[in-house]
Structure 1
Amino acid sequence: MSESRAVLEGPDIHRALTRIAHEILERTKGADEVVLIGVPTRGVTLARRLGERIEQFEGVKIPVGSIDITMHRDDLRQGPARPLGRTDLPPDGVDGKIVVLVDDVLYSGRTVRAALDALSEFGRPAAVQLAILVDRGHRELPIRADYVGKNLPTAKSEKVKVSLRETDGRDAVILRKGDAR
């Protein structure tokens, strides 16, 4: 039997994204050369939200895009075929830009590695940074987020589910204990 509880609700997620947006601006010394690239599916929504916040703070519309990592995953042979997703990069591309990859949960690091591989096909950024809503630990690769909304130590048997109002009807981060299916 599994037990679920919300570890973040809508206002918590709002505050975390606001803080991350400010941290991005501080670290990059403004938004001029920043491009936000979301990893589907929820990373794209989070990247859009970060872009909106940065625009509110700086008055500058920041380029936001998405990157399909399907063909760069190292687990392609372990399951059924996956449909290809859409890569939608800003018109000016990523060359010479500070690219902030955005995703919802950082776990093993394999999704981020796939995103880095996919990104390398589209140009050469000046720097790549990583913004994550939830870091749950258990890294299998040497990957660390630059911006973290919430560090959430978990057991490997637990599951973290991010719900966003645009795709799921509500903002929440749910931790499922026990039978994590």
Structure 2
Amino acid sequence: MNETWQAIETLLSSRFPAILEDFNPPCTESDLAFLKDVTQGKLFDLYELYESHDGQSSYDLAFWSPWRLLSVKHIKTNIKVMNEDLVAEWAEDGMSPTDEAEANGPVKPILWSSYWVPIASNGGGDLLCIDLDPDVGGRVGQVIVWWHETVVREVLYSSFTDLMTDYLQDLQAGLYELVEGRGLVKL
């Protein structure tokens, strides 16, 4: 993963320096320990990235539009919102996180799981999450999307490494452009 991230940084530096400048410094040791704890110590590729950059600062400079990589602080906030606030809101409406949802791919067909760890947001309530408890045929560490306005849960990548590798290949192929107010948009 380190080589992939270094190649991404090199391309961003030469083609889209504003995006690279939007990345935060490395996360703290305590934040890294939290990240390892919440992901059960299984996602070394993710840790390597956070040892270099603790997410991004701005939604206007999304790393891969519409997604902005969350800082550990914002990961913590989103975990609390999803696992406590939203679950309480659902309970008031007679709903449960385990209520049925539509699944595209091997993700559990439920509204929410505490085993989904948010790592990116579009700023509008939708999240990219690392799935630590996939459905049959899934893979621990797969990247899923949680849409807040629908009950569709979807597997996007089988791992964070696959996401970053795909992103690098698209950058190398010139498939992104910088759009003001949105960040890098795939053509």
Q: What's the TM-score, normalizing by structure 2?
A: 0.25
Higher RCO structure, 1 or 2 (CA under 8 Å, sep 6+)? 1
**Larger helix proportion of the pair:** 2
**Larger strand proportion of the pair:** 1
